[in-house]
Amino acid sequence: MKRISALWGNVLKQEAKDRSIAAILSRIPVFSSLSKAELRLIEKIVYLRNYQQNEVIFIEGEPGAGMYIIESGKVRICLGPHADEEHEIALLEPGDFFGELALIDDHPRSATAAAIMPTRLVGFFRSDLISIINRNPQMGVKIQENIMQILVRRLRITDQRLSDVCDELRAYQEKLEAESKAGEKE
Amino acid sequence: MLITDRRKEMPLIFKPAFKLSVLAVLAVLLIGVLLWIQGLLSSFLIAIILVFILSPAVDYFERRGITRSSAILIVLFLILILIVSLALYTSNAIIGEYEDFADQLDFYSSMLNDEIHRRIAELEGKFGLDRYEAGPRLLNLIQSKLKQAFLFTGATFGTIIFWIAAVPLMLFFFLLDGYRIKRALIGFLPNRYFEMSLNIHQKISHIVGSFIRAKLIESVVVGLCALAGFFVVGLVFKPLNYAFFLAILVGLFNIIPYLGPLIGTIPVLLVAIVQYVLLPQFPEFSAAAASSWAPVFAIVGVLVFAQVVDNVYLIPVVLGRSVNVHPLIVLLSVILGFEILGITGMIISIPLASIVQTLIFEVADGIKSLRH
């Protein structure tokens, strides 16, 4: 089984039941702390985008504009410009979200996303977040706090993985040293 | 699957070419309607510029928990109060000065013209040259154009009435539903250009918004500096005629980068030279006062001081990182604006030029960064 990327895999996945936009949004950690009235406002702001099978959503290296939530369909996240199975780092399903780092700045996308079947996405973009912060700072702060929590969670997972890799490397190094010592004795 | 793979059998309304063609047709229709009805285009452009200026104020009231429509009404009401109080307290002085200035402009220009003709004739006599007609003809041409500019004759009374009726309505509509219009337009774009357009829109709003607001602040401060300077000069020497109106012209023209400060200097110098140097030579026109260049130099000093304040203190602080408009674009847009709408056209052409320049640069950047 492929190893899911800490950045692109949905580390906060929950079971989806209700499929309305507001319900989908309420299950996304970015909007989880918003009240029903606030969610209704967000519902009016988000964009609904339809993608055909094999259609690219964005490509690694392009400036990012915001995040997407999958309403229906499936999205493949790949490293590099090719959206094939070989480069896949995550396969996302309805209720999953991706690209939330682009809500912070327009740093180039760190992966490519493509729909692998007819897919409907809910898009929430940085310009809308800035507008919310200007017009309704309380709601803006809640969303930013949620984004921060996601980033912290991803950072902790990455940290843990780095620590695991370091442990593995240390063990491998010790093993190599032991082998070379045994070789010298022989 | 390669990134260039796309499904061929998508419905017509999803095809990028179809979507882009529909948008192009809508844009052409909109421009056609705006050009067709007189005054509509200028009202539309003025409303767009005012949206950039007033959006932060509307956002401010909205942040206090007021609905957007009420926030817009409050801002428009405050502006109305400001205009009415300005009209009540200063209109007599300013409109009086304007009427006097309009009456006297021909007299002032002809005095200066005669003086220049006399000097040219002297030079011709001195060096034995033939009459050189191009100089005076050019002078007359500049005089007629400048008169049109300084007296706001580019906009007719009918146009101004149309603005008073149309601009507040458009402004209210754009401030309230601008977001929905943007959402509908960007939402209609093909997936391929969708994110790029969002990024471009965000950058344009930011850059153009700060540019227009900065220009407004700059123009008010420079106008006030000039007014204060004219009063000080007036205390030391004789008060400068039309000081209020001339300070407004200096502030307004300062909106135009590079050329504006020079154009704004012309009416001030015209009045100052005629008032302080030429008129005192004719006792029948003026009370006994000695002809002197000192007040003229002092007025030039005031204008230079206002420019120093603008360039050294204001521009780095208020204009900051927002991009300035390229000199060539300034020149072209000012000429075009003047031909269409006189002084109003010259002044509104600059924020519009900043929108067009940012749009071109950002679209070019966006297309470059598109990798599929």
Per-residue HEC secondary structure of A64-127 comes to: CCEEEEEEECCEEEECCCCCCHHHEEEEECCCCEECHHHHCCCCECCCEEEECCCEEEEEEEHH
What does the pLDDT read at residue B33? 72
The whole-angstrom separation of Cα B193 and Cα B367 is 9
**How many CB atoms are closer than 10 A to CB A119?**
23
Cα torsion angle, B44, B50, B54, B59, sign: positive
Contact B63 A55 (CB under 8 A): no
Confidence band, pLDDT 50/70/90 cuts, at residue B172: very high
Distances from the Cα of B19 to the Cαs of B64, B352, B371, in angstroms? 40, 26, 20
**Does residue A84 form part of some domain?**
yes
Please tell me which residue of chain B has the smallest CA distance to A133. B63
Mean pLDDT of chain A: 84
The whole-angstrom separation of Cα A143 and Cα A134 is 13
The whole-angstrom separation of Cα B216 and Cα B223 is 11
Residue A130 confidence (pLDDT) above 80: yes
Which CATH number characterizes residue A30's domain?
A: 2.60.120.10
Give the tokens for residue A142: 């809640």
Residue B44 confidence (pLDDT) above 80: yes
How many domains, in total, are found in chain A?
1
What does the pLDDT read at residue A12? 52
Residue A4 confidence (pLDDT) above 60: no
Contact A131 B191 (CB under 8 A): no
| Maximum alpha-carbon separation in chain B | 92
Confidence band, pLDDT 50/70/90 cuts, at residue B191: confident
Contact B195 A131 (CB under 8 A): no
Among the ranges given (A43-47, B128-132, B154-158, B220-224), the one the predictor scored with the smallest mean pLDDT: B128-132
The whole-angstrom separation of Cα B298 and Cα B295 is 5
Contact B199 A54 (CB under 8 A): no
The parent domain of residue A49 ranges over 21-173
Residue A68 confidence (pLDDT) above 50: yes
Q: What is the mean pLDDT of residues A31-53?
A: 88
Q: What is the mean pLDDT of residues A3-12?
A: 54
Q: B57 vs chain A: nearest CA distance in angstroms?
A: 10
| B289 contacts: CB under 8 Å, gap ≥ 6 | B238, B280
What does the pLDDT read at residue A87? 81
**Does residue A111 form part of some domain?**
yes
**Burial tier of A91 (Cβ tally within 10 Å: 0-12, 13-18, 19+):** middle
What does the pLDDT read at residue B14? 62
Q: What is the mean pLDDT of residues A41-56?
A: 88
The whole-angstrom separation of Cα A116 and Cα A51 is 9
Mean pLDDT of chain B: 78
What does the pLDDT read at residue A1? 39
Residue B56 confidence (pLDDT) above 50: yes
**Does residue A8 form part of some domain?**
no
The whole-angstrom separation of Cα B7 and Cα A18 is 30
Q: A64 vs chain B: nearest CA distance in angstroms?
A: 7
